[in-house]
Every structure is written in structure tokens, then in C-alpha cells.
Amino acid sequence: MNIKKSNNFFMYKTIAQDKKLTKLREFIALVFKQEIENYVADPDSGLVLRPSVLKRLKKSKKSQSAGRLRSLDEVVKRLGI
């Protein structure tokens, strides 16, 4: 009879440990997911560009395509900085 009580005690203890471990794993997974989302999240998500900014971006893209933009290295070399 004492052996059964002893086995039940250990069984209950194991079940309690398993539940704690499951809760800990769930918590770790949640924290990990939140940190990954924070790391890769776009801080500008949902924001709208002002028309003036969009116009400048389009102009810059055209200048780049036409070869009128210079890299920082080219500018530094040309100016002798």
C-alpha cells in the first residue's frame, strides 16, 4: 500500500513538472516569436509617403537610370577627400 502511494506521489510530481515545463516552453516560444517580429518588423509599415517625397524618389530613380548619380566613393575620389 505504501508503494502505491509513493508511486502516485511521484506520478503527480512528474505530471506537475511536465505542466510547468510545457508552460515554460510556451512562454519561451512566445518571447522568441515577439523578438523575431520586432527584429524583422518594418517600422514604417502602414505609413503613407507624402507626394513630395514620392516625387523626389521618382526623380532620383530616373537620375540613377540615366547614369547621372555618382557613388560616394566616386565623389570622394573626385573631390580628393
Q: How far apart are the first and last CA of the chain?
A: 90
Note whether 3 and 32 are same-domain residues. Answer: yes
Q: What is the pLDDT of residue 69?
A: 86
The domain tally of the chain equals 2
Of 45 and 60, more confident: 60
Write down the pTM of the prediction.
0.39
Note whether 37 and 1 are same-domain residues. Answer: yes
Note whether 56 and 35 are same-domain residues. Answer: no
Note whether 37 and 66 are same-domain residues. Answer: no
Note whether 29 and 52 are same-domain residues. Answer: no
Q: CA–CA separation, 30 vs 24, rounded Å?
A: 10
- Cβ atoms < 10 Å from Cβ of 35: 10
- Name the residue range of residue 59's domain: 48-81
The secondary structure of 35-59 as a DSSP string is HHHHHH--TTTT----HHHHHHHHH
pLDDT band at 11 (very low <50, low <70, confident <90, very high): low
Note whether 33 and 15 are same-domain residues. Answer: yes
Note whether 1 and 36 are same-domain residues. Answer: yes
